[in-house]
Amino acid sequence: GHELAMHVLYQLQCVNVADAPESSISTSEHYEKFFISLAKLLIDVLPASDKSFSKLLCDAPCLPESLFRFLEGLCMSQGNNQQTKDSEGDRVTQGLGTVWSLILGRPPLRQACLDIVLKCAIHSQDEVRGKAVRLVAKKLYDLTYASEKVEQFATDSLLAIANKHGVSTDVNFTTSKESTSEVEVSNQEASVSGSQISDAGPSASGSTKTSLISPKQSAISVSEAKRHTSLFFALCTKRPTLLRQLFNVYGGSPKVVKQCIHWHIPTLVRNLGSSCPEMLDIIHSPPEGSEELVTMILQTLTEESNPSANLVVAVKHLYETKLKDASILIPLLSSFPKEEVLPIFPRLVDLSPDRFQDALARILQGSAHTGPALTPAEVLIAIHDINPEKDKVPLKKGHRCLYCLL
């Protein structure tokens, strides 16, 4: 069946390119109608796991423009009878796998196919977006001829949503299965065809570029913020140098976008680890307005393990130079010895009561290696030794903290 279909397509294409002007238009139409009918038949009749559709597109002499619209609809699970899954696979995976095969096997079609995947990577449906983000981050981003465009698209998407201001409300993000897999760049990948067939003839895509955000919109929805940041975070895991761009835009971002970044950050930080040079460099000297993000990173890094020596050095430098706010030190206090806690103790007492309580809990907990930095009795003595005028700590606040201990 495949050989016969290829024979017909090549015959039609040969007639189409021959010197027969009076029949070329008619033949071109016949080619397109036959091709699209055959493609639809393969999708309707065969399971999603079957490779016949992918092989048809890889082997055909050329792909008509309407085929790219059909392929894009398949990637987005539109207009077919099995929109989600059948017994052996799903159509979104089939479509993206076919696009991946075309990118590898038919270089003239790479840009058109890349446009389809990137459009899917900011799709509103979690399933479509999640699979596309995984394909881009795990495979396309590694291709030298695609990495620059992929990175630029993800950056432009982030900037578009970060610079878009309007009426927005606080939201509570909950981690869905699909969204988590985007950030973690899950091992589940779109199935791909092993076909590596070079393009046998000229073909134009006519694919239109994706419009990131409509200029008429003024408010930012939760889903809009999530879908325009997922790809960027997935790329950060592969290329941590992108972190600097994230921190640069954070301070001026709308509240919903900041909350979306907060939602992404813990998974990203765990993937990168506390020894990531790019992350340590940012903590050492973060862009203005990103201090809250630094605090969240420190909290994540110190949740399950003691901070590394390099992390402690970076945070201490930040505290001593740019950020004279002792709250930045709180996540590290469990690893501080007594001689390092006492000099900064007045600054900790001067924090808000809830932050001081957090700091106190870490001081009294200490680390498994050194034990508590201060005992409860030493804490009481340290509070008593505070000089309100010299240390610039209001006496009432010192008393409040003392009462909390009693």
- Measured CA to CA, the distance from residue 397 to residue 381 in angstroms comes to 16
pLDDT computed for residue 404 by the predictor: 54
* DSSP character at residue 109: G
* DSSP character at residue 322: T
Instruction: Return the structure tokens found at 391.
Output: 């240390």
Amino acid at 405: L
* DSSP character at residue 307: P
pLDDT computed for residue 38 by the predictor: 85
Q: What is the pTM of this model?
A: 0.77
Decide: residue 312, CB within 10 A, 0-12 exposed, 13-18 middle, 19+ buried. middle
Residues 53-72 have pLDDT tens digits of: 999 898 888 888 888 999 99
pLDDT computed for residue 5 by the predictor: 45
pLDDT computed for residue 101 by the predictor: 95
Residues 132-145 have pLDDT tens digits of: 999 999 999 999 99
Q: Average of pLDDT values for 109-121?
A: 95
pLDDT computed for residue 206 by the predictor: 40
Lowest model confidence (mean pLDDT) among 22-26, 172-176, 203-207: 203-207
Find the length of the chain: 406
> Please, what's the b/e burial string for 281-306 (b: 16 or more CB within 10 A of its CB; e: otherwise)?
ebbbebbeebbebbbbbbebbbeeeb
Lowest model confidence (mean pLDDT) among 74-83, 271-280, 287-296: 74-83
pLDDT computed for residue 113 by the predictor: 95
Alpha-carbon distance values, 88 to 83, 129, 186, 255, 283 (Å): 13, 21, 20, 42, 47
Q: Average of pLDDT values for 155-181?
A: 63
Q: Which residue has the tokens 């977006």?
A: 129
| Higher pLDDT among residues 172 and 310, named by residue | 310
* DSSP character at residue 108: G
pLDDT range class, residue 89, cuts 50, 70, 90: low
Lowest model confidence (mean pLDDT) among 220-224, 253-257, 385-389: 385-389
DSSP letters along 202-222, please?
-----PPPPP-S-TT--S--H
pLDDT computed for residue 171 by the predictor: 46
Helix, strand, or coil (residue 76): coil
Instruction: Return the structure tokens found at 48.
Output: 């999603």
User: Helices 52-59 and 21-45, interaxial angle, to 10°?
Assistant: 160
- Measured CA to CA, the distance from residue 61 to residue 200 in angstroms comes to 5
Q: Average of pLDDT values for 9-35?
A: 56
- Where exactly are the structural domains of the chain? 1-140, 331-405
Q: Average of pLDDT values for 193-205?
A: 36
Average pLDDT for the chain: 78
Contact indicator for 250, 232 with CB cutoff of 8 Å: no
Q: Is the C-alpha dihedral spanning 39, 44, 46, 47 positive or negative?
A: positive
Residue 372 has pLDDT above 70, yes or no: yes
How much of the chain, in percent, has pLDDT values that exceed 70?
73
Residue 325 has pLDDT above 90, yes or no: no
* DSSP character at residue 336: -
